[in-house]
Structures are given as structure tokens and as C-alpha cells.
Amino acid sequence: MTDNEDGFEEFRDELRQVEHRVASRIDPGMRAVRIAVAVLVVLVTSVLPWVGDAVGWQVLFGAAKVGLLPVLFAAFLLGVGVLGSGLTLALRNWTLAWVCAVGGCATAVLGMLSIWTQQTGKSNKVPGPGPGFGLVIAELAAIALAVMWVKIASSRR
């Protein structure tokens, strides 16, 4: 091979690498602001009542006995909703966007089950404390995050 052909092959390899980097990035646009607002709502709900008098951070750290599902929901909401969303927005990685989308859907399902168990579970005395408004708002924020991440992750061509 001549020097021109070697140089062209190097250029072609570099072009493939750049194409791969560009293809693996997302551009959330205005959804990034909406995601940030939803994350802020999630953080605010950590000081609102979730179950009876127990607030969100007490549920997360096990300071209140509320059952397993609200604790799982709080952990998923913190892990996927707050930390995952922040990391994905910072790195703008398409794979992380899919992780947030799938994790957000799982979080939304856990939130619905958490609300349901607080209304009907045997762990509560009749009539039981029921879900607090903080838990309901956290669930709405989780649904919003899941929908936004699914739209961003599936928007890649």
C-alpha cells in the first residue's frame, strides 16, 4: 500500500469512531428541563408524608415500618429517578437513557403497588394509614420520568 492508502484507512477508522460516538449520544432538548423538574419534585416528596406520619426519607431508610414495597419504591425512585436521571443527563448516553426508561417503568409499577398495598394490605389495621399525598405525588413524578425517558430512548433513529 502507498502512503495515501494508509492515510485514507486511518481517516476511515477515525470517521467510524466519531460516527459511533455520535450515534451513542442523546439530545433530550427541552425534555431535560422537564426531567430536572420531575427530579426536583421527587426530592421534595422525600419530606412529605408517604404512609401515615412517615415521610419519604424515613420510608427509604427503614425508620418507619411500612412494608417492603414502599421501601423498594423509594429505593428505585432515588436510584433510577434521581441518580440515574442526573447521570444520564450529564453523560447524554443512549444506553443509560434506556436504563432510565426501563428502570423508570419498573419504578412506576412499584409505586402503584406501594399505593395499593397501603390501601388494601394486611399490614395495616383497618382502616389503616393509607397512602399519604407525598407517596401519590412521588408516583406521579415516577410515571412522568418513565414516560419522558421512554420517549428520549426510543427517539434514536
Q: What is the pLDDT of residue 123?
A: 55
Cβ distance 48 to 57 under 8 Å? no
Q: What is the pLDDT of residue 16?
A: 77
Q: What is the pLDDT of residue 124?
A: 53
Beta bridge partners of 25: 93
Q: What is the pLDDT of residue 140?
A: 97
Q: What is the pLDDT of residue 24?
A: 65
Q: Residue 23 burial (CB < 10 Å; 0-12/13-18/19+)?
A: exposed
Q: What is the pLDDT of residue 76?
A: 97
The cell for 12 is: 476511515
Alpha-carbon distances of 139 from 62, 66, 87, 153, rounded to whole Å? 19, 16, 21, 21
Q: For each of the chain's 157 residues, which pLDDT tens digit applies?
A: 556 666 777 777 776 776 666 666 788 889 999 999 999 999 999 999 998 888 999 999 988 888 889 999 999 999 999 999 999 999 999 999 999 999 999 999 999 999 998 887 665 555 557 789 999 999 999 999 999 999 999 987 6
Q: What is the pLDDT of residue 84?
A: 97
Angstrom distance (rounded) from CA 34 to CA 145: 9
Q: What is the pLDDT of residue 25?
A: 79
Q: Residue 101 burial (CB < 10 Å; 0-12/13-18/19+)?
A: buried
Query: What is the DSSP annotation of 65-103?
Result: ---HHHHHHHHHIIIIIIIIHHHHHHH-BHHHHHHHHHH
Q: Considering the entire predicted model, what is its pTM?
A: 0.83
Q: What angle do CA 91, 25, 145 make, to 5 degrees?
A: 65
